[in-house]
Structure 1
């Protein structure tokens, strides 16, 4: 994983050390923390998924 200082919205999740399992762990933590349920379409991850995509999905749920 990259240090927090090196993570930007343009970074791809895989570039910052995420795989599909880590992504799902992150989703569970976010859902519990914010008391939300992410829609299924926001749960898709690919090699081109960026940190900013996750931020936008989260903003859409709040």
Structure 2
């Protein structure tokens, strides 16, 4: 996967994780194990899809 397709906007990341954007924001602010967002400016941020996949895998029982 190339680096550009690996980056997801918050709305895309929320859809990928099947959760609301507000839930994604709360997790990113409160859960120390949740993947950190990548700041690309004052108001622009991304999440790495590979980081989200790893987080999901760690949560599997």
Q: TM-score range by the shorter chain?
A: 0.3 to 0.5
**Structure whose residues are more often strand by fraction:** 2
Q: Specify which structure has the bigger relative contact order, considering alpha-carbon pairs within 8 angstroms and separated by 6 or more residues.
A: 1
Give TM-score scaled by structure 1 length.
0.42
Give TM-score scaled by structure 2 length.
0.42
